[in-house]
Amino acid sequence: MMRVRAWLRTPVVSDEFLPLDGILLYQAMRRRYGPRDATLPGSTAAMNGVRIPLEHRNEESDHWYHACSFAQWGMHSDDKAYWEKRISTGRLGIVDTPRKIDTASGRYRLYHMPVFYRSALYVDWYTCGDMDAVIGLLSDVWAIGKKTSQGWGRVSRWEAGEWLEDLSWMRAVPVSGDFDPDRCLFTGFRPPYWLPANQTICELWTT
């Protein structure tokens, strides 16, 4: 059992779950196929045979999942910011132009989009697997979450160490038969989490 920790330089744009196995699969795909897209959008053919160095749980079932918790944030704060596709011409003081500037469509269309982020000193995951291989994959990860090209989710360093208690269950676990609707939801249980085949009714276990 081990704990993996990402020390953060900037806030992270993500939901609260931020699965580590998804980050590891992305890095494993890059290691095998390079930085360019390995497949057409929505295709998973190239993922055949690509494994990440984490133990499997419920492996006898089609609904197997990795022994890896969702993100454990500890002390944090949530807030909202905005990104813009183009700087507002009004803010630049551009008023006298030879023709009207169309900001509703085309080249100068303006975007003022909200992003929801979480600020924390670090984020932890608890998992079972090959520690050296996990750190090897994470050594190339300099940012996590969304909008990393805009400076969000910068990681200053990664740490991994042994952990006595198995906390890898703090995640979405597929259920069969009757379930408690107050604790369950339809969601992904292994990466890629967006793939319909990897989604089912899961019991959500978090702290």
Is residue 83 predicted with pLDDT exceeding 90? no
Q: For 41-79, what is each residue's pLDDT tens digit?
A: 666 666 777 889 999 999 889 999 999 999 999 899 999
The full set of domain ranges for the chain reads 2-76+120-171, 77-119
Residue 68 pLDDT: 97
Please state, in angstroms and rounded to a whole number, the distance separating the CA atoms of residues 102 and 109: 7
Residue-level pLDDT at 16: 93
Q: Which residue carries 């379930």 as its tokens?
A: 179
Sheet holding 155-162, edge to edge: 122-127, 2-8, 155-162
- CB contact at 8 A, 18 and 5: no
pLDDT at 111 over 90: no
Confidence of residue 206 (pLDDT cuts 50, 70, 90): confident
Is 19 in contact with 71 (CB distance < 8 Å)?
yes
Q: In terms of Cα–Cα distance, which of 138, 126, 136, 124 is closest to 1?
A: 126
Whether the predicted pLDDT of 93 surpasses 60: no
